[in-house]
Amino acid sequence: MKFFDCTRSALRSPFNDDVVYQFEYMEYILDYGFDRLGATSEVGHPILMTECECNPSFSRARMAELLFETYGVPSIAFGIDNAFSYKYNQKLGNCGEDGLAISCEHGTCHVIPFLKGQPVLGACCRTNVGGFHVTDFLRQLLTLKYPYHTANFTWEKAEELKKEHCYVALDYLSELQIFKNNKEEAEEKTRYWQLPWVPPPKEEPPSEEELARKAALKEKAGQRLREMAAAKRSQKIVELEKQLSYLEELSEQLDEAEESEASAILGRSGYLSQQEIKSAVSKATQSLRKAKGESNGNEEKADASTADKYPLVSVPDEELTPEQLKEKKKQILLKTTTEGKLRAKQKRAEEEALREKQEEQKRAENPELYLEELRARYSELSEKFEQRKRQKVNGGQTNGNHGSSGGVGRGERLNAAQKERMRLLASAAFDRGKGEDTFGMRDEDWLVYNKMSKDNDDDGNDDDESELVRIASKLQEIDPTFVSKSEAVQLTPEPPKIRPLTAEDYRIAIGIERFRCPEVLFQPGMIGIDQAGIDEMVSISLRRLMEDESVKQRLCQSILVTGGSSLFPGMIPRLESGIRQYRPYLSPLKLVKAADPILDAWRGAAAFGASSKFGKQTFSLADYREHGENLFHRYNIVYSL
């Protein structure tokens, strides 16, 4: 990486389907190789460069230009890596002069026929699937299977898992059935990869010392709060005592003073009458008793009397000022309203007691009929209540004055009480605009507030809602299986509980992926490549040979399998089974794996470079400068090994 400038370009492969097309990156690779060999300035030595079958002449020309112009190489020769591997294994006795070479490489797979020791390039076959696609397919499958561990599935790790665990199935469909039926054999064939996992710390119960310490802190905090509350209560008691003392002194002054002096005293104090001062004294006394925690007696003594709440009601009009007269009218209205509410409340309580008594009698006489009546009443009120809610949201359509879109005006959504309130407001505003504002001069004017009270806003909606709640409680008491509509709406599914992660969650199971990924060498359509598999490529290559059947049988008796992808367990039996499907019945067939599928091409090239034939296959820098790129097009180099 010391030759690579990461700030200028990204790291990429110089190969595309085993053909060099990124010569900028190829230069980095050559720099590294020559540097390790000790050639730091110029390479004064002939070079033998391996390439794939039928390498395009433009790629060979660019490579020659790079070696001649950049490194000053004196001469260059090119050769096929599969041919070197075949010739090396031929010397070892693994294959004969006539045979086939099946090369499963990184980005491609090739099949080359050999006749009398020479490659027949016109009959070779190629498919753009190799070990790279197997690794990439494995990484994609594991990423889809374990999306939360995507960062762990690097290219290097996927390559390592492929080499350690993948194999070629003899019968792909039968192997799939084993994993589909969840047999014990499937579990035996599954491999596991344990990712780094740190168990979460166990929550140990607190010790007695910790509990004692927390209890002491809690008690200390509680004591501090109690002290603050006591100080605040003491301050309030002092303020109430001062207020009560002031009110008592003020009341004594009014008792001893004359009428003219009493009016001046009241004006300075801010109170309207002596009765109001007595009411304030009563309230202050009750507040002081409450602050001190003393008992206030029964409820009648605890509540302020009506006379204390409305002191001006019992005072004659002649003794009051104009401001006090207005205040008296307000107090009369409030007193009337309060007493009316109390009477209505008492009346409702009596009616409720009578209704409860009658319902208990019905329930005792015929429980089933009583239950049916309750359900019918509940359904009626529920529908009525829902209809009112829909009317508020969507608007009523009782008067027919709605457009084609279904929209209605605000006036159509108002109930009777709201319409009455709007009428009263309009009337008050209309009367006020005629002349002098005389609203409030008569007692009847204040009744408008009573009519416009919010208690009458819903026009019986509150009564219906309370009745609905009462009937629902009755039904729940009688029928345990009953669920009200409000409760049914509020019922929401509980959120799933978060399970703590265990070592199992960090264990990657590699089962069907072990044989599914190498299957792309035989079925490239699994990854979207519409080309032939390596077993079918043998049949295609034999058909391209213009020879009789006896020659083809002789070739099939010496098939050499080389390349890194040939190291998958089960590759030779699967290839033999696949090739037999394209050969005549009982036709002879023999497949042999190379002695070293990865390095045999280099060993064969090294043996050829050391032989006397190497000098005859090279062309020099002078030839290149004389003919240029036409040299590669004219000669179309054929390798005589």
Using H for helix, E for strand and C for coil, what is the string for 95-116? Answer: CCCCEEEEEECCCCEEEEEEEC
Q: How many helices (H) and strands (E) does the chain have?
A: 26, 13
- The span from the CA of 388 to the CA of 414, in Å, is 11
Kindly give the pairing relationship between strand 559-562 and strand 99-104: parallel
- The span from the CA of 181 to the CA of 94, in Å, is 41
- The span from the CA of 135 to the CA of 142, in Å, is 11
Query: What are the distances in angstroms from CA 22 to CA 12, 17, 59, 605?
Result: 8, 12, 10, 24
For the CA atoms of 29, 75, 604, 599, the dihedral, rounded to the nearest 10 degrees, stands at 0
| The predicted structure's pLDDT at residue 91 | 92
- Within 438-582, where are the H helices? 447-451, 461-478, 485-490, 513-516, 534-544, 549-556, 571-580
- The span from the CA of 567 to the CA of 261, in Å, is 121
What residues of the chain score a pLDDT lower than 70?
A: 1-11, 295-309, 391-421, 424-463, 484-495, 632-641
Kindly give the pairing relationship between strand 47-51 and strand 75-80: parallel
Q: What is the pLDDT of residues 434-443, one digit of tens each?
A: 555 565 566 5
Neighbours of 293 (CB within 10 A): 7
- Joined tokens for residue 303: 């509540």
CB crowding 429-465: b at 16 or more within 10 Å, else e = eeeeeeeeeeeeeeeeebebeeebeeebeeeeeeebe
**Burial of 593: CB neighbours in 10 Å, binned 0-12, 13-18, 19+:** middle
Contact 535, 581 (CB under 8 A): yes
Closest CA to 77 of 627, 606, 630, 626: 606
Backbone angles phi, psi at 100, to 5 degrees: -125, 145
| The predicted structure's pLDDT at residue 388 | 75
| The predicted structure's pLDDT at residue 177 | 92
- Joined tokens for residue 380: 């009626």
| The predicted structure's pLDDT at residue 386 | 80
Global pTM value: 0.58
Query: What are the distances in angstroms from CA 379 to CA 352, 468, 485?
Result: 21, 9, 10
Query: What are the distances in angstroms from CA 295 to CA 205, 286, 292, 300?
Result: 46, 10, 9, 13
| The predicted structure's pLDDT at residue 436 | 57
- The span from the CA of 70 to the CA of 231, in Å, is 94
- Joined tokens for residue 459: 């026009």
| The predicted structure's pLDDT at residue 468 | 79
**Burial of 555: CB neighbours in 10 Å, binned 0-12, 13-18, 19+:** buried
589: DSSP letter: -
Q: What is the pLDDT of residues 260-315, one digit of tens each?
A: 777 777 777 777 777 777 778 888 888 888 887 775 554 444 344 555 567 777 77
- The span from the CA of 595 to the CA of 85, in Å, is 9
- The span from the CA of 580 to the CA of 587, in Å, is 8
- The span from the CA of 279 to the CA of 285, in Å, is 10
| The predicted structure's pLDDT at residue 528 | 92
